[in-house]
Structure 1
Amino acid sequence: MIIEVLKALFLGFVEGITEWLPISSTGHMILVDEFLKLNVSEQFLAMFLVVIQIGAIMAVIILYFTKLNPFSRKKTAAQRKGTWRLWGMVLIGCIPAAIIGVLFDDWVHDHFYNGIVVASMLIVYGIIFIIMERRNRRLEAQAAITPVRGKHARPDAAESSIFRTTTVDDIDIPTALKIGAFQCLAIIPGTSRSGATIIGGMLSGCSRVAATEFTFFLAIPIMFGWGIVKVIKFLAAGLVMSQTEIAVLVAGVLCAFVVSVLSIKFLMGYIKKNDFTAFGWYRIVVGIIVLGYFGAKGMGLF
């Protein structure tokens, strides 16, 4: 049991980092599982890889509790109304993904959960991030409000001039639906839910900070809902978790929570001074390595 718990802690560590950085948590979890096999049932593993995300989402709730709490006595009536409005935009943004997820979850899992798909999506969206950020830097340079600091750095004033929505509170219904539509792309492993929604947010006119925070908030109902669905399917199939599997689940969720707190703080601090180019290159490098590995494996080289 101890060995399996240690494996679960490592998986929780990977989940906590990759869930919020736009590099695909599900994709990395599938890849890690290729080398670090949990001694659990196949049905439990499929459920675990989703339910572990609940630990990650609890980090968002804790870190943004005041902002997301519409009942806070510290808020004015107008602020509470604004919080309810934000929740409304979040729920609207979840509609497309909820529909697609319910209809195609099992089919996608059966056909696309493999290393080749993960690697391909890592590379494709890595290229998209790089192209999008080059466009943004060009527009920021044209704005010429403040000088660019560093190769991938960006001035806040210039950013404000090229994005019409600079805070998450200003996101409206059409923008929420557009971002929600992009979130549907994340059903393919390797895409990255946060990556897809950040790209969708920025292409819809949101600043990096606004798009990233809205991505965090969108995850709350989606990931909780998805986790509950997976547990229900597991139990409805008449399956029962062993003591080892229970320990694995608890360890993974708790580790994902702790690491997610650190990851979220890092990402929000990073994007206030930098763009997403580095994440794009990371995705491409990892994708190429993974393609090489599975290609060699397919040829029987190891």
Structure 2
Amino acid sequence: MNIIHVIVLAIIEGLTEFLPVSSTGHMIIASSVMNIASDPFVKLFTIAIQLGAILSVVVLYYKRFLKSLNFYYKLFVAFIPAAVFGVLFSKKIDSLLESALTVGITMFVGGIILLFVDAWFNKPTVKEEKDISYLTALKIGFFQCLAMIPGTSRSAASIVGGMSQKLTRTAAAEFSFFLAVPTMFAATGKKLWDFHKEGHVFTGEEIKFLAVGNVIAFVIAMLAIKSFITFLEKKGFKIFGWYRIVLGAVIIGLIISGHDLKTI
């Protein structure tokens, strides 16, 4: 891995973390093309720099995080399923982090779902986070677990989960952003611990890469969040559905036809 790889992956992370297109899926494809996907540090890097993007939520929505304890209780309830499933299936999840075919399939299937999600859930009644019940928060948390399959998109899974519980598009998207904070803090912490437990020691260069990656992801995500909310309110999810379908079909087609993504 070199500094160019770091910059490319961090920009991809910042742009895609909050869009329903799977930041992890995009980084797996990018790292496969750059022939670095199987590197243990790269696997760590693609998880760890999500922390930088997530911190942009805390900065942009800091007033919500200072609002009340109920806000944190709901996030904790919604976080529980991911914490449990993450511990139980961490090794399986890690093995999928270099599978471009998995990404292609989940991109395609997820895209089809996004084409219809606006029509399926078109009578929302919950417009603000304060109106979300604990049971609803827990259900959204279970939807988020689907994102443990690379290419699914944590954002897409939790937003669709929210809309299925009668949240508006904006309320579902914002709750998805908030839920990302404890989820990605935990995922990054666990990944760092596993990396250390396996006997890896960070080099000075790797520490620099993590710092640069997180800063870039933070700045790009700050710009992406507001644009996404504005677009979502006006246009909905169809364009993201078509994007996922096309990208998924291209990935699957290349693999089936015998092309190695590392040689693209």
TM category, shorter: over 0.9
- Report if aligned partners of 2:96, 2:149 keep a CA contact under 8 Å in 1: no
Corresponding residue of 1:99: 84
Could you tell me whether the CA contact under 8 Å between 2:52 and 2:214 is conserved in 1?
yes
Aligned residues of 1:166 and 1:210 also touching (Cα < 8 A): yes
Partner of 1:286: 247
> Is residue 2:126 matched to residue 1:165?
yes
* Matching of residues 138-149 of structure 1 within 5 Å: 139=122
Q: For residues 179 and 60 of structure 1, do their structure 2 counterparts lie closer, same or farther at Cα, with a shift above 3 Å needed?
A: same
Rate the CA distance shift 1:252–1:297 in 2: closer, same or farther, 3 A: farther
Partner letter of residue 249 of structure 1?
A: L
State whether residues 81 and 145 of structure 2, in contact with CA within 8 Å, keep that contact through their aligned partners in structure 1. Answer: yes
Q: CA deviation at 1:227?
A: 0.2
Pairing 1:1-302 to 2, within 5 Å after superposition:
4-38=2-36, 42-70=39-67, 83-111=68-96, 113-136=98-121, 139=122, 162-297=123-258
Is this contact kept in 2: 1:164–1:206, CA < 8 A?
Answer: yes
Aligned counterparts of 1:262 and 1:295: Cα–Cα separation in 2: 37
Counterpart of 2:61, as a letter, is Y
Look up the match of 1:77: none
Task: Give unmatched runs, 5+ long, in structure 2.
Answer: none
Are the aligned partners of 1:12 and 1:256 in contact in 2 as well (CA < 8 Å)? yes
Deviations 1:281-301 (A, max 9, x none): 11101101111122223599x
TM-aligned CA distance change 1:48 to 1:299, over 3 Å: closer
CA distance in 2, matches of 1:41, 1:110: 10
Q: Aligned AA for 1:172?
A: S
Q: What TM-score does the superposition give when structure 1 sets the normalisation length? A: 0.82
C-alpha displacement of 1:222: 0.7
Identity %: 38
For residue 270 of structure 1, report the CA deviation from its aligned partner. 1.1
Change (3 A) 1:299 1:232: closer
| Superposition deviation, residue 243 in structure 1 | 2.7
3-state secondary structure, aligned to 1:189? coil
Deviation of the 1:168 alpha carbon: 1.7
What is aligned with 1:74?
none
Question: C-alpha offsets along residues 113-140 of structure 1, whole Å, 9 cap, x if unaligned?
Answer: 411110110111111111222334xx5x
Shift of 1:66: 1.5
Gaps of 5+ in 1: 71-82, 140-161
How far apart are the structure 1 equivalents of 2:155 and 2:184?
A: 12
Alpha-carbon distance change, 274 to 41 in structure 1, aligned in 2, over 3 angstroms: closer
1:134-158 deviation digits (Å, cap 9, x = unpaired): 334xx5xxxxxxxxxxxxxxxxxxx
Deviations 1:35-83 (A, max 9, x none): 1245x9822112111101110111001101122114xxxxxxxxxxxx2
Q: 2:260 & 2:146 partners in 1: Cα distance?
A: 31
C-alpha RMSD of the superposition: 1.9
Moved more, 249-258 or 190-199: 249-258
Residues 123 and 253 (structure 1 numbering): CA distance in 2 closer, same or farther, change over 3 Å?
same
CA distance in 1, matches of 2:230, 2:159: 16
Could you tell me whether the CA contact under 8 Å between 2:159 and 2:176 is conserved in 1? Answer: yes
CA contact (8 A) 1:113 1:189 kept: no
**Separation in 2 of the partners of 1:58 and 1:174?**
26
Asked which structure has the greater CA Rg, the reply is: 1
Q: Per the alignment, do residues 41 and 117 of structure 1 end up closer, same or farther by CA in structure 2, a change over 3 Å counting?
A: closer
What whole-Å deviation, never above 9, does each CA across 1:160-193 have from its counterpart, x for those lacking one? xx11211122111111011001001000000000
